[in-house]
Structure 1
Amino acid sequence: MVIRRVVQALAALSLTVAAGCATTETAITPPPGVPSPDTCGTVNIAINPWSGYAANAAVVGYLLKEELNCKVNSYELTETASWAGFVDGSIDVILENWGHDDLKKKYIDGQKVAVELGLTGNKGVIGWYVPQWMTEEYPDITQWRKLNEHASLFKTATTGEKGRFIAGDPSFVTKDTNLIENLELDYTVEYLGSEDKLIAAFRKAQKNRTPAIGYFYEPQWLLSDVELAHIPLPRYKVGCDADPDEVTCDYQPYDLDKIARKAFVDSGSPAATFLKNWTWTNNDQNQVAKDMVQGKMTADQAAKKWADGNREIWEKWIP
């Protein structure tokens, strides 16, 4: 009788423990379609055509793979095409967004397929620049009202009597043509075709002390090698560029931010939390970009170099 009671008690205890285990397992199983907290899955990253963005993608992609075991796909796209990827799910995140209030209105407020994911930590400056040596030879060259007096310095066979104003990738969202027309300046915009060619043009102008004027921006690794002088235009005020045809003010300064696909963020993927946590500085970005472009490192090599020297920074991004 005693033995039977002991056996019955042990059987009851076993059932209780088994039930407890089943209850615990059920509690941590996520709903269908939602990954468990330790599962990353696939992350599709848009890569826009400038070296700073590629540096962002290198470090983010490297750490997503190495620390969270994510599968990372990268797609080289223009800014506008990147946003369109939120609609069909082909893009999960844009790592460096420069304003684009019109696209935010369309895809975040209107179609509700995207969400803001916070700031990158980078400060974006777009504007007009000349090589620093020109400010020594022509002290008033950075006064926009004096630019017509110096237009002949920048003339080429293709621009005739007007000065050549250089720009990079024609897919970049710029307002230089309108600014030149509205400020009544004797210049013609010439798109060189890419950021690389724009960099090469400014580097050549600095090395050979030949005149050059054009569009450029920060953060940009080149500025650690070649000194460029910024030409302030009429001060930017909110709304001054609302009508592109009438714009006469300088570019807006940007606190660069991240945009993600809403369904990706809502999925519970730890990658989304990582991307929300990720922030760094212009100097961080420039270091990696310079290693990739000038140092000829692969994206993973440059990312590993930065990660090995900055563990205290990126550990805070890991969910």
Structure 2
Amino acid sequence: MARTRTLALVAAAVLTAGAGLTGCGAADMTRQSSPYADAEGSRTVTLSVQSWVGAQADVAVAQYLLEHELGYRVDTVQIDEVPAWDALSQGRVDAIMEDWGHPEQEQRYIDEKGTITRGGDLGVTGHIGWFVPTYFAQQHPDVTDWKNLDKYADRFRTAESGGKGQLMDGSPSYVTNDKALVKNLGLDYQVVFAGSEAAQITQIKQFAKEKKPFLTYWYKPQWLFEKVPMTEVKLPAYKKGCDTDPEKVACAYPHTPLQKFLNARFARDGGDAAAFLKKFRWTTDMQNDVSLMIAEQKLSPQEAAARWVKANRATWRTWLPS
């Protein structure tokens, strides 16, 4: 998730859910392109799906409606955030449903090359931050100010953190500022990657079960807050441009309206599918409803999408081309 999150999140449940999204002619975009993307004259659409469950929810609902209401064949492919921009530019995927802000890619592919176009707001505002469990914050209220984190470094120490406090991150593929923040704020902490959103969720839930303290990189919207209440640690205030140089970042993450992006040719020639994806816009609560069904109730993404679609006709009808 850009210099904001990256995205993007039960381990077996979420991994299985992610696999389920790649069912219709699936392809691993890190190794090959989808055979269906940019298929001129055909009613096929290829959507890039990110690894976090919120993005899986976006794609599941879009896929369900494209197939059942508009008669398209939909292919989904899982690919990391930055490589997804290359695939979108080349027409190997048609759309990214949830992007957390990649200004370098926007400048390169939208402003300079013209191979990607903006698809509009998703309707959800994302925010990354550092969080501690609320039960610990209630016992130690001053932990929510970054200036006091070193006071609690020994409480957050783990076998993996090398004698320092542990700041837990998710996937190494997520582009975060955390290592620079720890260094530039002079904190006695070590960034430790759980490996994936699913692994991070598993670890957070285990800490919470045992009522242990932890400090973690996390993000909103995310369904886990309903299961494990967490309180944000206040970092130095975000100001525009404070995160421009990734080596010098010493400020909080911004609040980011999440965006959709389309391949430029698909946006122009994609007919009803392109029009639908541009109009797709829902709320944080709606996304979390579907995410919870996937991650906690263990429904497949398509089962969760079908249930949501059945209950929210008034919302999604406005997305269909008139």
TM-score by length of 2: 0.86
Q: CA deviation at 1:158?
A: 2.9
CA distance in 1, matches of 2:246, 2:195: 22
1:9-50, CA deviations, whole angstroms, 9 ceiling, x for partnerless residues? xxxxxxxxxxxxxxxxxxxxxxxx985xxxx71111001110
In structure 1, the residue matched to 2:184 is 182
In structure 1, the residue matched to 2:139 is 137
Q: CA deviation at 1:245?
A: 0.8
Superposition map of 1:298-309 within 5 A:
298-309=300-311
Q: Secondary structure at the match of 1:244?
A: coil
Q: CA deviation at 1:213?
A: 0.3
Corresponding residue to 2:197 among 195, 214, 222: 195
Superposition map of 1:2-21 within 5 A:
none
Superposition map of 1:181-260 within 5 A:
181-260=183-262
2:47–2:59: 8 Å Cα contact kept in structure 1? yes
CA distance in 2, matches of 1:191, 1:197: 9
- Structure 1 residues without counterparts, runs of 5 or longer: 1-32
1:131–1:205: 8 Å Cα contact kept in structure 2? no
In structure 2, the residue matched to 1:88 is 90
Q: CA deviation at 1:262?
A: 0.2
Q: CA deviation at 1:157?
A: 2.6
CA distance in 2, matches of 1:243, 1:48: 25
CA distance in 1, matches of 2:188, 2:314: 51
Q: CA deviation at 1:223?
A: 1.1
1:41–1:269: 8 Å Cα contact kept in structure 2? no
Superposition map of 1:24-173 within 5 A:
41-173=43-175
Q: CA deviation at 1:268?
A: 4.3
Q: CA deviation at 1:88?
A: 2.5
Q: Secondary structure at the match of 1:304?
A: helix
1:67-95, CA deviations, whole angstroms, 9 ceiling, x for partnerless residues? 00011000010001111112321110000
CA distance in 2, matches of 1:71, 1:246: 46
CA distance in 2, matches of 1:151, 1:175: 19
Q: Secondary structure at the match of 2:127?
A: strand
For residue 315 of structure 1, what is the amino acid of its counterpart? Answer: R
Q: CA deviation at 1:120?
A: 0.4
Corresponding residue to 1:313 among 303, 315, 319: 315
> Which structure dedicates a bigger proportion of its chain to helix?
1
Identity of aligned residues (%): 37
CA distance in 1, matches of 2:40, 2:245: 43
Stretch moving more, 158-167 or 56-65? 158-167
2:133–2:230: 8 Å Cα contact kept in structure 1? yes
1:85-141, CA deviations, whole angstroms, 9 ceiling, x for partnerless residues? 123211100000101011101111122110001000001010000111101221211
Q: CA deviation at 1:180?
A: 0.4
State the structure with more CA Rg: 1
CA distance in 1, matches of 2:267, 2:146: 45
In structure 2, the residue matched to 1:28 is none
CA distance in 2, matches of 1:81, 1:179: 25
Aligned residues: 283
Stretch moving more, 256-265 or 86-95? 86-95
CA distance in 2, matches of 1:288, 1:160: 38
- C-alpha root-mean-square deviation of aligned residues, in Å? 1.3
In structure 1, the residue matched to 2:25 is none
2:57–2:291: 8 Å Cα contact kept in structure 1? yes
1:34–1:199 CA distance, 2 compared to 1 (3 A): closer
CA distance in 1, matches of 2:202, 2:223: 13
1:240–1:248: 8 Å Cα contact kept in structure 2? yes
For residue 95 of structure 1, what is the amino acid of its counterpart? Answer: M
CA distance in 1, matches of 2:297, 2:141: 35
In structure 1, the residue matched to 2:32 is none
